[in-house]
A and B are shown apart, each in its own frame.
With several copies, the nearest count.
Chain A
Amino acid sequence: MVSFELSDEQKMIQETCSSFAADHMYPAMRDADESGEIPEEIISRGWELGLVGGCIPEEYEGFGEGLNALNMVIALEELAWGDLSMAMHLLSPTVLAFSVLDQGTEEQKKNLLPRYCGEEFKPASCALVEPYYDFCPSAIRTVAERDGDEFVINGGKCLAPLAKESDHVLVFAATNPGMGFAGVDAFVVPVGTKGMEIGEREKNMGVKALATYPITFKDCRVPLAARLGGENGSDFLRLLSRSRLALAALAVGMSRHALEHSRDYARERVAFGEPIGSRQAIAFMIAEMAIEVDATRLLVWEAAWRCDKGMDFAKEAALAKNYAADMAMMVGDRSVQIMGGHGYIRDNPVELWFRNARGFATFEGMVMV
């Protein structure tokens, strides 16, 4: 029966994440963006929210009941309200951990999952995006060829979060090039493996506080066991779709903050004798921003709900992610426009959201629900 009401557990998650975002993340957002550094303390506090370990069952040393897309998108929205870079940094382990939890072999689970259930934040990276203008997850150019009891990986990646800081990188490569999504597999590659070279930290327009790296693979050899799901491999489209839900949820949270900021500014800023929000041009912009933020959230919720229900949700996740990317740019652009000259100044947060927003069209992987 249709309902839009959060469960008590979800309300709890929402409140905890929301106050953490407001008390710790947002106040540090600007400095983190300018310095490119996220204060240790915020991450360790954020880790205490237990979002990762909270999904991992006890048998793997976690304290949760497994993956729950809806709970996670609710959490992600709140965290991105606080700061996108910090949220993506804090949740960098999700792609590897959740992929293993969802589709890893028992051995992979036992070896890897406990690492992400500790007291301490444990980064993990993933390498999906490639440095081509027309990169497409269905046409990945990095290849993993089987050679005896090894896979040999060749290719180039970019936007791999925390690659240098991590022990492992989940690398997506084509085992059957030309087969589209079905031809892609994921490999757990330890940092330092011969043939895998992590380049200099990337400089991006936005998410400046998030450390991302390019990675090149030259005849990088990994054992068969490194393949997610072992012999059977894994369902890449499903993993991709889970990451799209995560990215869309982040876009909703960040955009919601931009909307709220614009709303408050339009209410308080006086020009020509009245608050600028009392003029239809500004007021209608804000109304449309509000409508699109809510619309995107509902698209995300519905796709996540389908995911949790075990229904096919790949199409819904793609629609939601693409819709979210457009929405975020529209909202980010208007949040600057509404502040006029003040929006162009780095004293104010909107230009940061404007830069971050454009990233969602390009981001794939990087975080997962």
Chain B
Amino acid sequence: MIDFELSPRIKATKNMIHMFAEQAVRPIARYYDEHEHEKPWDLFKMVHKFMGGGMAGAFGTSGKEEKAEKEGEPKEKKPRETNLAGAVTIEEIFWGDAGIALSFPGPGLGGAAVQASGTPEQKERFLSRFSGDEPVWGAMAITEPEAGSDTANIKTTAVLDGDEWVLNGEKIFVTSGKSALEDSKGFVVVWATVDRKAGRAGIKPFVVEHGTPGMQITKIEDKLGIRCSDTVSISFMDCRIPKDNILGSPEVVDKTKTEGFKKAMATFDATRPLVAAMAIGVGRAALDFIKETLKEKGVEIRYGINPNRMTVLEREIMQMEADLKAARLLTWRAVWMLDNGLRNDLQASMAKAKAGMAVTRITQKAVELMGPLGYSREYLLEKWMRDSKINDIFEGTGQIQLLVTARRILGFTREQLK
């Protein structure tokens, strides 16, 4: 039965999170943009205390929720809302500030990988820490200087030596890598190949604990936006980790079946719509700013009249609203499918592609429409334009999303449509 009404539970969370975003996040957004590499520790502690990594719905589930999930089958009949709740929550928190929200403690993508491919023992060992007293971060290291979107081309190696895997290589663009490895007792999930010749099939995820010798943060990036969130480069030089820190089977199955990789992709299918929700939150912030500005000036928007009789401002706002709503509905559809155990890789890519492109356009247009107010750092609009650009880039650029979408629609393989 088609329905767009959020359940009471989600509504309540939404309101709570919105209040939090408005009162605790928005006010400090500018400070952490101007003071790159500083961290809002008080906020982190509060987030950790009251949300118990709930925000981590963003990137996999927290220890607590994880337990809850064990009970039900993955494809249980009675409808679940975990991912929808995640999307709704994320939109609200990112409405507050993208950089700060991205820097929140929690299992992150690393946790999601453990969640997706870890054994019960591993889940216990790696995820339980997120329910502890202190904020902890999990991170994921895939990208390499020469790889970019080309994750199949990973050069970092993992060699089994007795009871240990020995990692060598360099990773870049690790979100919250510093938080996980230096600021807390966290870990990073590192994607490395156990067999270069095996291509995708040889690529496996390994959990590397904070403070493991041979692992070093070599660079902390200065960025266009989302500056509160640290993005680091990590080098691995003969970095030794326990044999059972590999996620999933160490077997290199035949080259067509790329189980390890599929798991990673499964992680992305789950997170992609959530990244879309992030974009939508920022876009909504920009739209709200414009609408409030106009309200103050007593300018009303005449929805419903002939669009060609509107002012440029009115029509732009109408288009922004429609684009934002369209992106949100595509996102809700993708998470709803996930919650209902339906394959959603196509819909997830559609949602992220739409949200990423819509919101970069919306924020860029918003800055233009607000003229000097838009361009000035006295207001947050220009920051949202900088922050939102990341949504068309990370977790797969807009182009990658279109490629995935096109392949599924045309029924082409990766080889047929490069």
A341 beta carbon closer than 8 Å to chain B: yes
Known contacts A282-B399, A345-B221, A346-B222: A322-B318 contact under CB 8 Å: yes
Out of A237, A283, A318, which one reaches B403, CB within 8 Å?
Answer: A283
A219 to B225 alpha-carbon distance, docked (Å): 41
Q: Mark A121-136, 1 if CB is under 8 A from B, else 0.
A: 0000000011111111
Contact with A along B389-400 (1 / 0, CB 8 A): 110111001110
Task: Tell me which of B1, B394, B410 contacts A341 (CB under 8 A).
Answer: B394
Contact with A2, one of B172, B336, B373 (Cβ below 8 angstroms):
B336
Please name all residues of chain B whose beta carbon is closer than 8 Å to the beta carbon of A302 when the two chains form the complex. Answer: 4, 325, 329
A6 interface contact, C-beta 8 A: yes
A327 to B405, CA, bound (A): 18
Q: Are A295 and B375 interface neighbours, CB within 8 A? A: no
> Within the complex, what minimum Cβ distance (angstroms) separates B249 from chain A?
26
A339 to chain B, nearest CB (A): 9
B304 within 8 A of A: yes
User: What residues of chain A lie closer than 8 Å to B399, measured between beta carbons?
Assistant: 281-282, 284, 337
Report if A2-B5 is in contact (Cβ < 8 Å); known contacts: A282-B399, A340-B393.
yes
Residues of chain A lying within 8 A (CB to CB) of residue B239: none
Q: Is the CB of A319 within 8 A of B372?
A: no
B68 interface hit (Cβ, 8 Å) = no
Binary CB contact string for chain A from 279 to 298 against chain B (1 if under 8 A, 0 otherwise) = 11111101110110011101
**A203-B376 CB under 8 A given contacts A282-B399, A299-B325, A341-B173:** yes
Q: Shortest distance in angstroms between B366's beta carbon and chain A's nearest beta carbon? A: 10
**Alpha-carbon distance between A323 and B323 when the two chains are bound, in angstroms:** 8
Query: How far is B2's CA from A337's CA once the two chains are assembled, in angstroms?
Result: 35
CB distance from B103 to the nearest CB of A (A): 16
- Out of A139, A203, A291, name the residue touching B354 (CB < 8 Å): A291
- Closest residue on chain B to residue A129 by CB atoms: B372
With both beta carbons as reference points, the residue of chain B lying nearest to A34 in the complex is identified as B222
- In the assembled complex, the Cα of A319 lies from the Cα of B221 at a distance in Å of 40
Q: Is A286 a contact partner of B364 (Cβ separation < 8 A)?
A: no
Is the C-beta of B150 less than 8 angstroms from some C-beta in chain A? yes
Contact A135 B318 (CB under 8 A): no
Residue picked from A136, A314, A355, most chain B C-beta under 10 Å: A136
Q: Are A294 and B330 in contact (CB under 8 A)?
A: yes
> Which of B89-97, B124-132, B140-148 lies at the interface with chain A?
B140-148
Q: Closest CB of chain B to A316's CB: distance in Å?
A: 8
B411 on the A face (CB < 8 A): yes
Residue B293 CB within 8 A of the other chain: yes
Option from A10, A291, A323 in Cβ contact (under 8 Å) with B2 = A10
Tell me the complex Cα distance, A301–B326, Å.
11
Contact of A358 among B143, B375, B392 (CB under 8 A): B375
| Chain B 284-306 interface 0/1 with A at a Cβ cutoff of 8 Å (1 = within) | 00000000010000000011111
Judge if B31 is at the interface, Cβ distance under 8 Å: no
Q: Given known contacts A281-B399, A351-B224, A362-B368, is B412 in contact with A204 (CB within 8 Å)?
A: no
State whether A284 and B3 are in contact (beta carbons under 8 Å apart), knowing that A158-B372, A319-B325, A344-B393 are contacts in the complex. Answer: no
Residues of A within 8 A of B371 (CB): 129, 132-135, 361-362
- Cα–Cα distance between A340 and B356 once the two chains are bound (Å): 13
Q: Which residues of A contact B302 (CB under 8 A)?
A: 138
What are the residues of chain B within 8 A of A173 when measuring CB–CB? none
**What CA separation (Å) do A133 and B150 show in the bound complex?**
43
Q: Contact flags (1/0) for B336-350 with A, using CB distance below 8 Å?
A: 110000000000001
User: A337: which B residues are within 8 A, CB to CB?
Assistant: 392-393, 397-399
Q: Please name all residues of chain B whose beta carbon is closer than 8 Å to the beta carbon of A342 when the two chains form the complex.
A: 148
Q: List residues of chain B with CB within 8 A of the CB of A263.
A: 409-410
> B226-264: which have CB < 8 Å to A?
231
Q: How far is the CA of A203 from the CA of B374 in the complex (A)?
A: 12
Q: Is the CB of B224 within 8 A of A355?
A: yes
Q: Does B47 contact A (CB under 8 A)?
A: no
Q: Do the beta carbons of A3 and B405 come within 8 Å of each other?
A: no
CA distance A319 to B5 in the complex (A): 19
Whether a CB of chain B sits under 8 angstroms from the CB of A151 is no
Confirm or deny: A81 has a beta carbon within 8 angstroms of a beta carbon on chain B: no
CB contacts (< 8 Å) of B393 on chain A: these are 336-337, 340-341, 343-344
* Number of A interface residues in the complex (CB < 8 A): 90
Q: Which residues of A contact B224 (CB under 8 A)?
A: 336, 344-346, 351, 354-355
Q: Mark A311-334, 1 if CB is under 8 A from B, else 0.
A: 000110011101101000100010
B406 touches A329 (CB 8 A): no
Within 8 A of A (CB), among B374-418: 374-378, 382, 385-386, 389-390, 392-394, 397-399, 402-403, 405-407, 409-412, 416-418
Q: Does B362 contact A (CB under 8 A)?
A: no
A288-B402, A343-B393 known; A267 vs B411 contact (CB < 8 Å)? yes
A-chain residues with CB within 8 Å of residue B392 when the two chains form the complex: 337
- By a CB distance below 8 angstroms, the chain A residues around B406 are 277, 280, 283-284, 286-287
| B395 CB, nearest partner CB in chain A, Å | 10
* Chain B nearest Cβ from A310, distance in angstroms: 13
- A residues in contact with B2, CB < 8 Å: 3-7, 10, 70, 301, 305
- Specify which of A2, A3, A70, A283 is in contact with B410 (CB 8 Å cutoff): A283
The answer, among B143, B305, B376, B417, for a CB contact under 8 Å with A283, is: B417
Q: Which residue of B lies closest to A241 (CB)?
A: B304
Report whether B389 and A130 are in contact in the complex, using a CB–CB cutoff of 8 Å: no
Chain A residues closer than 8 Å to B402, beta-carbon distance? 281, 283-284, 287-288
The reply to whether A278 and B330 form a contact with Cβ atoms under 8 Å apart is: no
Q: Which residue of B lies closest to A302 (CB)?
A: B4
**B residues near A131, Cβ cutoff 8 Å:** 372-373, 376
Segment 16-58 of B: residues with Cβ below 8 Å from A:
none
B153 at the interface (CB under 8 A from A): yes
Q: How far is the CA of A272 from the CA of B3 in the complex (A)?
A: 42
State whether B373 touches A270 (Cβ < 8 A): no
**Closest B residue to A266 using CB positions:** B410
Q: Which of A131, A139, A337 has the most B CB atoms < 10 Å from its CB?
A: A337
| A315 with B303: CB separation less than 8 A | yes
CA distance A281 to B385 in the complex (A): 23
Q: CA separation between A355 and B367, bound complex, in Å?
A: 11
Distance to closest chain A CB from B57 (angstroms): 15
A322 and B322 within 8 A (CB):
yes
* A61 interface contact, C-beta 8 A: no
Q: Are B321 and A2 in contact (CB under 8 A)?
A: no
Q: A273-B153, A277-B417 are in contact. List 7 more A-B contacts (CB 8 A).
A: A2-B4, A2-B81, A3-B3, A280-B406, A287-B409, A345-B231, A346-B223
User: Can you list 27 residue pairs at the A/B interface with Cβ under 8 Å?
Assistant: A3-B1, A133-B370, A136-B309, A158-B372, A181-B304, A263-B410, A270-B146, A271-B149, A280-B403, A291-B330, A295-B326, A296-B326, A301-B4, A309-B5, A318-B303, A318-B304, A319-B322, A319-B325, A320-B322, A323-B319, A340-B148, A340-B149, A341-B172, A346-B224, A358-B367, A358-B368, A358-B385
Please give me the 7 A-B residue pairs with the lowest Cβ-Cβ distance, nearest first.
A298-B329, A205-B382, A295-B326, A283-B406, A203-B377, A136-B306, A351-B224
